[in-house]
Amino acid sequence: VKSKSVVPVEEFDWGRYICSNNLVGAPVTCFKHVPLCTFWSDVTEGVRVEVLNSDTNLSTKVYWIAGIVKLAGFKALLRYEGFDNDSSHDFWCNLCVPEIHPVGWCASNGKPLVPPKSIQHKCSNWKAFLVKRLTGAKTLPSDFSVKVHESTQYPFKKLMRVEVVDKTHLCRTRVALVEQVIGGRLRLVYEESQDGTDDFWCHMYSPLIHSIGWSRSIGHRFKRSDVSKKIEGLTDAPSQLFLKVKDVDQSGDWFKDNMKLEAIDPLNLSAICVATVRKVLADGYLMIGIDGSEAADGSDWFCYHSTSPSIFPAGFCEINSIELTPPRGYSKLPFKWFDYLRETGSRAAPVKLFNKDVPNHGFREGMKLEAVDLMEPRLVCVATITRIVHRLLRIHFDGWEDEYDQWVDCESPDLYPVGWCQLTGYQLQPPAAQATRE
């Protein structure tokens, strides 16, 4: 398992990074699980806002109007009205911070709009100038700050109990308590942890967490807690808070034990591997083993739902020119499915059983974003989409070698737009410098 260490946090400036390299941030509308996703299609270049005027000698806080020049996730490059084509005073701002307001907010709150001193001499009639510039232009809705506040409230609360994958034995779940909620990401502490440090980070929509009783209901392995001390205030997280999976019909032609397929290796998300259905559970869940690297006791089998975008029919990699990782120790290379199935006396899982939906996700290669390092899931890092195969995204962590890349679904709740960390107060891991990596 390859994992990264925390990079010392220095000031990372997304705006400078984007501008100096002429980069593109993935739009907020690509991330269905983040605040304001459905609203953000109305936030475009040219939209005007009221923002603090930092170019003034006045001692009191004054504001001026700025227009959006460029967007990168939640961040916008703004230009004060009056600078026309002069970009020298452009500045980046997260549009969801309390200092950004719709046009009209200043008047409602008794704050005067004062032009920046660099351009004060340029115009003798600012009223006429503003009427001309603003009439017919777009601004944010008057309840923008309410929308920001409402969309950053989360239903999971501290001391709620959940079932979560055991990070040391992927084949089983354990009970954990919600210890912290940041931006919908949960820090879960396993119930038997003595000092509260045995924890696991995941998003509240992660397929790795479930309501209490889920494991028993589908026949999944579960590590029973032996907790002697009862903590006051514990509640089981209500089942409606968890991600719903599609209902599937297991009665007809269905996955069977020993069927072969291709799967993202949960211990090396850079690799898609030859894999086997080890056990068929209820409600469409499957225990999958990675061929050639399974523990004898099945302790590294992993639970994927049959509709998971992380499992593929045999031949998926070849069709899409992705390198398929053959079983460890398999010497007959290049790997050929036809030969392997014959040699192992097994059959491939039918193509029709896999999820073939490809959402119109909007991601493009080269787009920048903030992505969880799923090998160290408390870390949210500066990242780039380097390849797109249908709904599958190849995520590269800026400054790190390609071997740390991860295959992630386009609807993964572990992907966030530029500025998400700043919005939620989560710590962002900047691109690694060569010296840090060493």
Partner 1 sequence: AAESTGRKWEQKQVQIKTLEGEFSVTMWASDDKK
List residues binding partner 1 (CB under 8 A): 38-39, 41-42, 48, 102-104, 106-108, 110-114, 126-127, 130-131, 134-142
- Residue 102: CB minimum distance to partner 1, A: 7
By beta-carbon proximity to partner 1, the closer residue of 145 and 436 is: 145
Q: Is the peptide bond before 334 cis (omega within 30 degrees of 0)?
A: yes
Which segments within 5-57 are labelled E, that is strand?
Answer: 24-25, 48-52
To partner 1, the closest distance from the beta carbon of 78 in angstroms equals: 17
Residue 219: which of 282, 136, 313, 153 has the closest Cα? 282
For residues 106 and 209, which CB has a smaller minimum distance to partner 1 in the complex? 106
Mention every residue, 6+ apart, whose C-beta is less than 8 A from residue 341. Answer: 260, 314, 347, 348
How buried is 389 (Cβ within 10 angstroms: 0-12 exposed, 13-18 middle, 19+ buried)?
Answer: middle
Q: Which is nearer to partner 1, 57 or 194 (CB)?
A: 57
Contact by Cβ (8 Å): 199, 148? no
What are the Cα distances from residue 285, in Å, to 52, 176, 304? 53, 21, 6
- Please state the closest distance from residue 240 (CB atom) to partner 1, in A: 22
Instruction: State the minimum distance, in angstroms, from the CB of residue 64 to partner 1.
Output: 10
47 vs 178 by CB, closer to partner 1: 47
Under 8 Å between Cβ of 291 and 276: yes
CB of 130 to partner 1, least distance (A): 6
Cα–Cα distance, 431 to 4 (Å, whole number): 12
- What's the min distance (Å) between Cβ of 258 and partner 1? 46
Which is closer to partner 1, CB of 85 or CB of 135? 135
Centre a 10 Å sphere on the Cβ of residue 364 and count the other Cβ atoms it contains.
12
Least distance (Å) from partner 1 to the CB of residue 29?
8
Q: Which is nearer to partner 1, 138 or 278 (CB)?
A: 138
Reading phi first (left if > 0) and then psi (alpha if -120 to 50, else beta), residue 60 is in: beta
Give whichever of 4 and 48 is closer to partner 1, judged by the CB atom.
48
**Is residue 296 packed enough to be buried (19+ CB in 10 Å), middle (13-18) or exposed (0-12)?**
exposed
- Minimum CB distance to partner 1, residue 139 (Å): 5
End-to-end CA distance of the chain: 17
Nearest Cα to Cα of residue 198 among 214, 174, 230, 222? 174
Q: Cβ closer to partner 1: 101 or 220?
A: 101
Residues 6+ apart with CB under 8 A from 104: 50, 139, 142
